[in-house]
Amino acid sequence: MEQKEAKKRVYSGIQPSGMLTLGNYIGAVRNWDSMQDEYDCIYCVVDQHAITVRQDAATLRRRTMETYALLLAAGIDPKRSILYVQSHVPAHAMLTWVLNCFTYVGELSRMTQFKDKSEKHADNINAGLLDYPVLMVSDILLYRSDLVPIGADQKQHLELTRDVAARFNNLFGDTFVVPEPYIGKVGARIMSLQEPEKKMSKSDENVNAFIAMLDEPDVIRRKMRRAVTDSEGTVRVAPEKPGISNLIGIYAALTGLATEAVEKEFEGKGYGVFKDAVADVVVDALAPIQARYKEFLADKKALEAMMDDGARAAEAIANRTLSKVYRKVGFVERKRH
């Protein structure tokens, strides 16, 4: 009898440092849902990564719960995937210390995100800000992940993960899976509605620059009408039209239409008509997610039980990897009596 080939394992995480945006949904979360049948998926709310920047404790706790509930509402199914909170699995921090000793300071100081965040938070350039890529390496390697979905801003982190995994394997023999980047269907990279040259970000100080997944319909429509465009008035993709190109990308992503089909549909129509149409498809896409989110968040005990189940499932895999690493580096195994 022919053996069924094991599914490849995908690992990905998202920070609870702010409300997830339309960019997070189109660029990542929607794809997480669609990957669950084809792959063995492990998804994480990475709350430990969030504290490299100062967080209010009560706000971080609330946002962690909200992010977890929102991922469930967006289609992440605990029966088909593992969904857990990073700080619930101590192996992440424990492996990070070991891997710190196999990662070079030069590798960390070259990270562009370290440079960017150091400029933004010049009063708080903490060791965690320099070192969090090693925590990211641990996140991935703990679960023997085959594939990691990455954006352009995280290529360096995956390269570091591969380098550290190979370095450790060369010293101690086959221990870690060296992960590959997940190259899925090309999705739209959603940009800021106010500064369309930069990516839409949940931490943007200008609330009109992003659409949060929980924004009410009238808020979505208002933000869309205020979106920066240009004076030409033609709905077409062009390098000199980043604002309207971004809106076309959103409309195409949510309707499944090709860019050319969007341009044809709105040929001869003004930006006002087009912006309203984009707002409508965004509202329609987010409405069922928002309804399910409210249901999940309304039952806190059930949500906490799902978190615990997810942590147990994640821990079972992570602890096996950690135990193997501890033996290889020479730590004495604790004998429990």
Q: Which residues are known to be catalytic?
A: 117, 199, 202
> Who contacts 186 (Cβ-Cβ below 8 Å, separation ≥6)?
none
> Who contacts 267 (Cβ-Cβ below 8 Å, separation ≥6)?
235
What is the edge-to-edge ordering of all strands in the sheet holding 9-14?
81-85, 40-45, 9-14, 147-149, 180-182
Helix (H, G, I), strand (E, B) or coil at 253: helix
How far is C-alpha 94 from the chain's CA centre?
22
Helix (H, G, I), strand (E, B) or coil at 336: coil
Whether 125 contacts 115, CB under 8 Å: no
How far is C-alpha 168 from the chain's CA centre?
26
Strand-strand pairing, 40-45 and 81-85: parallel
Tokens of 126: 């903490």
CA distance 260 to 58: 47
Nearest CA among 255, 321, 334, 293 for reference residue 99: 321
Helix (H, G, I), strand (E, B) or coil at 1: coil
Whether 97 contacts 88, CB under 8 Å: no
Nearest CA among 76, 80, 77, 49 for reference residue 63: 49
Nearest CA among 273, 139, 293, 322 for reference residue 331: 322
